[in-house]
Structure 1
Amino acid sequence: MDALCIAGLLAHHARYQPEAVAVVFGEQRLSWREFAARCGQLAQAMAQAGVQPGDRVATVLGNCLELLTIYWACADLGAVAVPLSPLLQCSGLQSLLQDAAPKIVFASEATQADVSAAIAALSMPVQLVCVAAVPAAHSYAGFVAGCAAMQQRPHFTPEHPCNIMYTSGTTGQPKGILLTHRVRAHYAALMASIFRLTPESVVLHTGAIVFNGAYVMMMPAFAQGARYVLHGAFDARAFVATVAREKVTHTMLVPSQIAAILDLPDLDPVQLLSLQVVLSLGAPLPLARKQALESLLPGRLHELYGLTEGFITVLDRRDTARKLGSVGVPPPFFELRIVREDGSEAEVGEIGEIAGRGPLLMSGYYGQPELTAQTIRDGWLYSGDIGRIDEEGYLYLVDRKKDMIDSGGVKVYPRDIEEVIATHPDVAEVVVFGVPDEKWGETPFAVVQMKQTFGKVCTPEQLRDWINVRVAARYQRVSAVALVSSFPRNAAGKILKRELRAPYWEGRERAI
């Protein structure tokens, strides 16, 4: 097997540190020998079920030990793991399963009904395996029963596909991003270097591992032979307790999770002192939250801006305090540029589209060569995000191209307004987007989730007035504020902006 294939990582650790703890999930603590045996047994079961290298294996599961096992069994077998969100309903599952054409779909008791209905409508045969608490027909336990661990791995090269990661779908139709073993091997090596991850590290992951951001810490942890602690779902109190108990050194969180931890009324930072790296990713972390986290745990915060398609920048903990508004710089082996509408490169400080290239670049969108060609041009990945770089080369996000508001011909960036609103002491999270306006075409509108534990919650009108005296320009004033108890989210924890915005634009076309 080529060294840049991730198949064989488990066997390596099972041979050289067999009794070291590899994976912790709930009360289960598995050594490298035990976890490698589980994955080998599943790989053999899939092979006996007819799965060959290159075949797709889909999952519709929340965090569980079986999901982690499926990922690594697929890697050893050469099957292509296709993780799908357990929040998807039948119609969404049907379109993705039709696109991916998997041999097997692993579902849970919670998702089995929707998955079964979706499979019934497909044009190809698909085997369903259910991860259930009680073994039954088509159960995971029955599927692997009697199988010995796979002894002989198929041969494949680093360009062999490893994953199809469907985009989160926060702004449009999901697309299948094809990532190879070579890309995953680069995740392992580069992220370990960037985030100082070693064999002695303890990595805690509390978010959903069905989204690509999970691989940022998962891959280096498994390559280094570190301990990987997985929670079934995010809970702020459980997070703090696990960090203290396991002496966690590395974790990654999306901004809403960071907010939930910071808002714990009895948070004791002493319980978090083992943390060396707290990585924020998935969405911009508001400045107010960055400052609060940096004050609570100085010198730990990293922020990653990235696209599953294959480009990242990182704000290192050394630079967080002095470059608080930035999302950092491209790591070694990556390049970044800001591109004007005419395709020329922008000057320092000038706003344009973020484009980048590097060793994590996808093979393309699965089965969509035209869309791939629109996104990757001359080897550069065009992000659809708007940003600028300063004189030292640090990247600052401005907004998504699609989220930009056109108000009377003036470009209004929602993130500028969101940063102002996030400083209000009662605000937990905020989303700003454009809504139709007869005079201006579009006008800013804010949807706000308030903190439950802070003071007296203000009215929407009071909050609107508070915002409008603090924004930098008249065209940034919000027309109204809506208060919500929670935001719609995907499995990654990202807010689904299009679901919030859709009711205001039904039957109308946006200007951009």
Structure 2
Amino acid sequence: MLQLASLIKHHSTFRPDQVAVVFEQERLTWCEFDARVNRCARLLQSLGVQKGERVATVLSNCRELLEIYWAVPSIGAVLVPLSPLLMASGLASLLRDSGAVCLITQRSMAPMVDQIRDELPGLTAAHVLMIDGPWADYADYTAPFGNSPDGRLEPVSIAQDDLFNVMYTSGTTGLPKGIMHTHFVRSMYCTLFASAWRMSPESVVLHTGAIVFNGAFVTMMPCFYLGARYVLQRQFDPEEAIEIIARERVTHTMMVPAQIIAVLNSPNFSAERLSSLQMILSLGAPLYQEQKDLLNRLLPDRFYELYGLTEGFWTILDKTQSLRKAGSVGSPPCFYELRIVREDGSDAPPGEVGEIVGRGPSLMSGYYDRPDLTAQAIRDGWLFTGDLGYTDGEGYLYLVDRKKDMIDSGGVKIYPRDIEEVAARHPDVREVAVFGVTHEKWGETPVAAVLLHDGATVGACELRDWINARVDARYQRLHALKIMDEFPRNAAGKTLKRTMRDNYQAGNCESC
């Protein structure tokens, strides 16, 4: 029997008084956290939630969400974390798609849930719970977790191939798909990442972003596996994150590139405040080389980079290689294999760009209820990522771009990341996103959206011309550039290029 939720009981038994979770002013020991997880699990069992049934959450970062993450699999149910930033139609679609029999949410979501109640016949009023108080409209059973029933938790036998969760893709392109992970896959997250990040039971792990996305599990699972301390920020704030790191003596943290950039540019940033860090992990999108170099100068021997997909393949750039292999996103860990595949299906040699294809023990079971999409993504046991890259002579991977982000201008392939790296070298540029828009003559042409540092005075036309004078080829020159106050992002912090492209083509953006 493989029981990931037994990790909490294990630490409660052998390290009962050690601090397990820190959330704002709350500090829970392993014994206290275990008791809360058990109360949540008993509540779900009292509602009749059975092994294999889906339990959805629509919650911002909170202590209760961490408890749910361990309570749901402890009774053999399947976790379905959903973003509170979803609109009503999107939430209804994902709840229907997942077949969730229980929804745990917060008071602020009540109007939206009321709006979609008639679209969810499989979700009874008794199975809609709120963590922050009773909900009068749902009178059958709306007890918050603090009032959950006492009694014995009914034991459930769980096998390694049973589902742990269905994670919906963040939807930066196309419709979200439900990615299925088994208990075995999540156990691989525990052990392989614990080794990769050099974590120990004495580590202190900070997570600053939304934990409803799979990237959070990259540090969460090894932390709970080892019995280390997990510190959760309610929402990302760079100044507060720096103060938390200094106060808690945080050793490991993971951030998306936009968050790393915000920390580096925070008025209270100093290397001394962050001196406890042993790992700063970047994932979710490429971090500009300019920012990597700055981070390695200010905080040497700490930078890791993860390239990976929720579907289950990853490469890791270890901190010991971050200078020697600058520009790379690392190599596959033990038990993983990597190929670069041409359009004709043959393997490309080192140095040649092709589709990144990989396999390993964290591979998803498939897309929930979509065998057609699963067959497209996984072929003969290999995951076809849809990303473009190449390897060097030592097998290190260099990411070029997303296949679907590639711009086809008059038959010439343009990779937005090449232009973004040039733009990031301008001293006034904080962030940049390059995307293709339709063009009568060339089919597509590149356009840039830019965020500037505070106090920057460069104009859009001046910046566009500066970039165009430094790109490697004429066809990479920007057709237009727009300076923005903020980028549209999903709750994971990823930039939504598709939204910016649609707004530009709809004429909603003025640019030079």
Q: Same fold (TM over 0.5)?
A: yes
What is the deviation of 1:118? Answer: 2.5
SS in 2 for 1:88: coil
After superposition, what is the alpha-carbon deviation per residue over 1:353-378, rounded to whole angstroms, capped at 9, x for unaligned? 00000000000000000100000000
Determine the structure 1 residue equivalent to 2:298.
Answer: 296
Higher deviation after alignment, 496-505 or 142-151 = 142-151
Determine the structure 1 residue equivalent to 2:209.
Answer: 207
What is the deviation of 1:457? Answer: 2.2
Letter in 2 for 1:15: T
Letter in 2 for 1:485: D
Q: 1:13 aligns with which of 11, 31, 50?
A: 11
Which residues of 2 match residues 192-341 of structure 1 at below 5 A? 192-341=194-343
Q: Do residues 75 (structure 1) and 73 (structure 2) align?
A: yes
Unaligned runs of 5+ in 2: 508-512
CA distance in 2, matches of 1:356, 1:46: 38
Higher deviation after alignment, 262-271 or 177-186 = 262-271
Letter in 2 for 1:418: E
CA distance in 1, matches of 2:123, 2:258: 39
CA distance in 1, matches of 2:353, 2:323: 23
Q: Do residues 110 (structure 1) and 96 (structure 2) align?
A: no
Q: Do residues 98 (structure 1) and 100 (structure 2) align?
A: no
After superposition, what is the alpha-carbon deviation per residue over 1:26-81, rounded to whole angstroms, capped at 9, x for unaligned? 11000101101101111010011010111101011110011111110012111111
Contact 1:213 1:282 in 2 (8 A): yes
Identity across the alignment (%) = 56
Contact 2:41 2:153 in 1 (8 A): no
Q: Do residues 169 (structure 1) and 167 (structure 2) align?
A: no
SS in 2 for 1:435: strand
Which residues of 2 match residues 468-483 of structure 1 at below 5 A? 468-483=468-483
Contact 2:449 2:481 in 1 (8 A): yes
Q: 2:380 aligns with which of 378, 381, 388?
A: 378
CA distance in 1, matches of 2:258, 2:69: 26
Determine the structure 2 residue equivalent to 1:121.
Answer: 119
Letter in 2 for 1:130: M
CA distance in 2, matches of 1:13, 1:498: 44
SS in 2 for 1:97: helix
CA distance in 1, matches of 2:432, 2:112: 32
Which residues of 2 match residues 20-99 of structure 1 at below 5 A? 20-99=18-97
CA distance in 2, matches of 1:140, 1:242: 34
Higher deviation after alignment, 87-96 or 258-267 = 258-267
What is the deviation of 1:388? Answer: 0.3
Contact 2:445 2:478 in 1 (8 A): yes
What is the deviation of 1:426? Answer: 1.1
Letter in 1 for 2:26: Q
Change (3 A) 1:10 1:442: same
CA distance in 2, matches of 1:148, 1:497: 49
CA distance in 2, matches of 1:303, 1:329: 10
SS in 2 for 1:293: helix
CA distance in 2, matches of 1:121, 1:40: 32
Contact 1:40 1:148 in 2 (8 A): no
Q: Do residues 485 (structure 1) and 485 (structure 2) align?
A: yes
Contact 1:6 1:185 in 2 (8 A): yes
Higher deviation after alignment, 388-397 or 456-465 = 456-465
CA distance in 1, matches of 2:212, 2:142: 19
Contact 2:101 2:122 in 1 (8 A): no
What is the deviation of 1:151? Answer: 3.3
Higher deviation after alignment, 435-444 or 194-203 = 435-444
Contact 1:131 1:140 in 2 (8 A): no
What is the deviation of 1:123? Answer: 3.5
CA distance in 1, matches of 2:148, 2:357: 50
Contact 2:450 2:481 in 1 (8 A): yes
What is the deviation of 1:148? Answer: 2.1
Contact 1:90 1:114 in 2 (8 A): yes
Determine the structure 1 residue equivalent to 2:510.
Answer: none
CA distance in 2, matches of 1:251, 1:257: 11
RMSD: 1.5
After superposition, what is the alpha-carbon deviation per residue over 1:463-501, rounded to whole angstroms, capped at 9, x for unaligned? 111110011100000011011111111111001111111
CA distance in 1, matches of 2:249, 2:420: 35
Q: How many residues align?
A: 502
Higher deviation after alignment, 115-124 or 134-143 = 134-143
Change (3 A) 1:440 1:121: same
Higher deviation after alignment, 378-387 or 260-269 = 260-269
Contact 2:131 2:144 in 1 (8 A): no
Letter in 2 for 1:413: Y
TM superposition score normalised by structure 2: 0.96
Letter in 2 for 1:486: E
Contact 2:20 2:30 in 1 (8 A): yes
After superposition, what is the alpha-carbon deviation per residue over 1:223-256, rounded to whole angstroms, capped at 9, x for unaligned? 0000000010011111111111111000000000
Contact 1:341 1:352 in 2 (8 A): yes
What is the deviation of 1:153? Answer: 2.4
Letter in 2 for 1:294: N
CA distance in 2, matches of 1:33, 1:474: 63
Determine the structure 2 residue equivalent to 1:188.
Answer: 190
Contact 1:116 1:128 in 2 (8 A): no
After superposition, what is the alpha-carbon deviation per residue over 1:105-132, rounded to whole angstroms, capped at 9, x for unaligned? 1111222222332233224234211222
Letter in 1 for 2:88: C
Contact 1:436 1:442 in 2 (8 A): yes
Change (3 A) 1:506 1:461: closer
Q: 1:433 aligns with which of 404, 425, 435?
A: 435
What is the deviation of 1:408? Answer: 0.7
CA distance in 2, matches of 1:142, 1:323: 51
Which residues of 2 match residues 406-425 of structure 1 at below 5 A? 406-425=408-427
Contact 2:177 2:368 in 1 (8 A): yes
Determine the structure 2 residue equivalent to 1:510.
Answer: none
Letter in 2 for 1:342: D
Determine the structure 2 residue equivalent to 1:499.
Answer: 499
After superposition, what is the alpha-carbon deviation per residue over 1:167-209, rounded to whole angstroms, capped at 9, x for unaligned? 0111111000000000000100000000001101000011100
Change (3 A) 1:381 1:149: farther
Change (3 A) 1:12 1:276: same
Determine the structure 2 residue equivalent to 1:399.
Answer: 401
Change (3 A) 1:69 1:257: same
CA distance in 2, matches of 1:208, 1:140: 25
CA distance in 2, matches of 1:320, 1:356: 22
Which residues of 2 match residues 355-370 of structure 1 at below 5 A? 355-370=357-372
Q: 1:159 aligns with which of 144, 156, 161?
A: 161
